[in-house]
Structure 1
């Protein structure tokens, strides 16, 4: 027969609730003494925390009274000094140190934290220690009887903070997470598994962290939209009382860049006729989205880094620092690591931004998400224009066949799609988009993409900004990428690309030559092979 487990309770001495002298003390309910009065639950040992210098007499009285109602209960006095019972940091540190140093034997004993006594601060600290599993047990809440009478112990309840034991609570948490993720996706039922995993993690990080977030991806992939949605989610959870402030860093040039971001004082330079707070101060207690952060100058990067780390910075022309506590989300379509190597971006700032980095795929890499986004854009247009517009069946099928096919480049990503739907909806007669309108739009998109300066194959590579490449490099790189995507290995691709020059070398390493060439553009073999599988 198994040996019964001992019931062990930890609790603070209640300097008010447990107090009482003379025979009249039995007329009042005392929570620590009541632990020995329950007929259906017995305490084997009480670890009673109290300040021996100030409350020794009371602790001994409580022990004596508990022995009278429950002789089988052993009381261990734990001398615990709380300089200020209302100082959260001090109370938590004291209780944490006590729990960390206590020798628990969970295979033989069940543990409970008596949360009825002590200040509200102490009760919160007990809760946190149990919830974080620093204390290997459950919470014990005792309550007085409905009518005060001598010898009445009242009632008790045991609370297990292992939420996995509570199906309804777990289900509600799961449902809330799905609702939060739907908010980040604007309610669009996206089908791309990789994108849905990305959104799920962004939801978790946005809810739990205020650290900077870096969103990478081609222009039009939805970086700005996602940043706004993160702000709305945090606002909904009362985590950011401030504003959403957005700026495209590519529009900041010269002396105006510093002033726009960090503000200036009156007379700081010619034309500064009044003080200007700057975007960082405007974003205090809110969210600052710096799109195309790779376009910032090195001086602005240094100032931004200090503002992130210290929450302080100097406005232009001022000798007094100002404060701003904001969360930063940065967006870029550039390879910032490559920019660091080229000396155009600070490595310490990238390290600060790189804690949470997410690569948003372009629409061409999410073709299964074209259809739900078409429905979303059409619904949005109808709502904004107060006019219901729909496809007829044949027109919808024709447009989706084109939009999801390999011919569709979507070089402008979701901006292209949004503009396409807007054009068809605006030109629709009697609220119906017909096949003629779809055919006209398809022809327009074909012309648009055909006239674009970049080759289709380069548009499929996330993180590659083709606008920064000379036309000569674009043509050459496109051919290299095509060869890599159809080759079986890096060496095979190298042999094909260097077929002539390799014959003139004593020793050849085609794979190494190709690897170094690709690295100039921030590309690698695995990335090209992955893009070949998606295209």
Structure 2
């Protein structure tokens, strides 16, 4: 037993046998034998050595088999947390614990500060022991009784009621992260469980990977809400799509700027990192950031400090980071477009969100979720008839359903059918129409002969005025655009070789300007 002398509770005197003395009485239980009592006490003229002397003499009477070992310590102010913790930590690290002995920490005596410090040292295993709490005799009991004692095991899983409460709370957290959707895919459920554990135990960066539309943004928002609800963060969620940040605009948006920092900087701007102070910064498509922005971001993550544009004074921001990407950042490091040191810093907790087609078990619960969302938005509850629901689910789980846009495609499909449903019922005809639309949407774009493709877009007369050299280049650009999801994606494909060497990499703007030379737009080509 390791304990601290109680200056008040353990004090002696002529009537000491008529009072409950916790340190002495814990050794008076017939079915609980203490082999050795390691007694901590403050030494010196104003210490408690005289109480220890009396306890030792009385212990020889009530429990002669218990050896008392004196451990004088310097607590200083027993109500000062820092000095008390330091003194008890020094004792714990200097004591030679034996593997074949069972240790208990008596936490009934001492100030509340002492009791808290003993608890913390036991919880952290600096004191490899269990806690023991004693209580005086209850009503109706003789004052000569030793009272009661209770051993407290800090492994809370051993307490059935606490364990069931903990399990219920975790289940609620997992359901929250999944937006209440009863997902059935084992891999996805395990992923969400791991994310929940990380969010509640760490503020380290989280990297969410996965294809477009797999739910990275939605999950980042739920992570923030969970962290805020559990008081892990106090600030706001700040979201930014890095694909929209280029050049000076990227630096200014992220880190802020002073007035006059660059042409057009007519006022001071705080920046998104400062706005996320105390909260979470979600950088979606982080692979689109330029190398200069990546370098500054790395320092901001590590030191919580950064230098706004045009400023000579650093700014501090204590934010947690969630990053999202739909590209392989290791390939980006190999190509030179992403910093290896930044990836190493944000790659501590990386979670790969699966595509919708990899989660066929979750199609049906997500169908019900989308119908509930529609009802909340439109104030109209729409349902499928039995045959229509079965047919749509069969298609949605089949190899024919590629779900190229993942949950974006899925959500859009449900919204279209719900909007067109007569009498708030989706029937077979609507399902057939939507299935046909999705199949057309996902069908690969066939390459057309160069001349035919450009003539369809420009007209024969306009095409005749373009040199053959420019015609060949334009044909390649148009073909890539037709096979790409967005103007930015087409730009990345077309300018892949040169983009790593450029300071500003606004591929979408570069491609837009090129097409404008021929009076074309991305929408024209996709149409």
State the TM bucket, normalised to the shorter chain.
0.7 to 0.9
In the TM superposition, residue 85 of structure 1 has moved relative to its aligned partner by 4.0
1:36 to 16, 21, 27: 27
In the TM superposition, residue 25 of structure 1 has moved relative to its aligned partner by 4.7
1:123 to 94, 115, 121: 115
Q: Counterparts of 1:493-512 in structure 2 under 5 Å? A: none
Q: Deviations over 1:440-460 (max 9, x none)?
A: 1112112211256899xxx9x
* TM-score (structure 2 length as normaliser): 0.79
CA distance in 2, matches of 1:353, 1:41: 53
SS in 2 for 1:374: helix
CA distance in 1, matches of 2:95, 2:491: 63
CA distance in 2, matches of 1:98, 1:452: 74
In the TM superposition, residue 389 of structure 1 has moved relative to its aligned partner by 0.2
SS in 1 for 2:204: coil
Q: Counterparts of 1:515-534 in structure 2 under 5 Å? A: none
In the TM superposition, residue 150 of structure 1 has moved relative to its aligned partner by 6.3
Q: Deviations over 1:193-215 (max 9, x none)?
A: 22122111111111111100001
SS in 2 for 1:110: coil
CA distance in 1, matches of 2:304, 2:495: 43
SS in 2 for 1:241: coil
CA distance in 2, matches of 1:394, 1:259: 55
Comparing 285-294 and 446-455, the one that deviates more: 446-455
Residue 137 of structure 2 contacts residue 143 of structure 2 at CA under 8 Å; is this kept in 1?
no
1:363 maps to which residue? 356
Alpha-carbon distance change, 12 to 290 in structure 1, aligned in 2, over 3 angstroms: same
1:46 to 15, 19, 37: 37
CA distance in 2, matches of 1:215, 1:94: 44
2:256 matched to 1:263?
A: yes
Q: Deviations over 1:68-107 (max 9, x none)?
A: 4433332101122334545545544543453344344454
In the TM superposition, residue 272 of structure 1 has moved relative to its aligned partner by 3.3
In the TM superposition, residue 159 of structure 1 has moved relative to its aligned partner by 1.6
In the TM superposition, residue 269 of structure 1 has moved relative to its aligned partner by 3.3
Comparing 239-248 and 74-83, the one that deviates more: 74-83
Instruction: Name the count of aligned residue pairs.
Output: 455
CA distance in 2, matches of 1:81, 1:65: 25
SS in 1 for 2:443: helix
In the TM superposition, residue 368 of structure 1 has moved relative to its aligned partner by 2.4
SS in 1 for 2:208: strand
2:134 maps to which residue? 142
1:217 to 210, 214, 228: 210
* TM-score (structure 1 length as normaliser): 0.78
2:404 matched to 1:405?
A: no
In the TM superposition, residue 131 of structure 1 has moved relative to its aligned partner by 3.3
CA distance in 2, matches of 1:149, 1:436: 85
1:340 maps to which residue? 333
CA distance in 2, matches of 1:132, 1:418: 47
Residue 106 of structure 1 contacts residue 136 of structure 1 at CA under 8 Å; is this kept in 2?
no
CA distance in 2, matches of 1:315, 1:134: 44
1:81 maps to which residue? 74
SS in 1 for 2:102: strand
Q: Deviations over 1:337-385 (max 9, x none)?
A: 1111222111111110010011111112222222211111111111221
In the TM superposition, residue 52 of structure 1 has moved relative to its aligned partner by 2.6
2:190 matched to 1:197?
A: yes
2:200 to 175, 194, 207: 207
In the TM superposition, residue 149 of structure 1 has moved relative to its aligned partner by 8.1
CA distance in 1, matches of 2:179, 2:135: 47
Residue 245 of structure 1 contacts residue 289 of structure 1 at CA under 8 Å; is this kept in 2?
yes
2:60 maps to which residue? 67
In the TM superposition, residue 260 of structure 1 has moved relative to its aligned partner by 1.2
CA distance in 1, matches of 2:83, 2:14: 37
2:1 matched to 1:12?
A: no
CA distance in 2, matches of 1:346, 1:141: 55
Residue 424 of structure 1 contacts residue 438 of structure 1 at CA under 8 Å; is this kept in 2?
yes
CA distance in 2, matches of 1:334, 1:118: 58
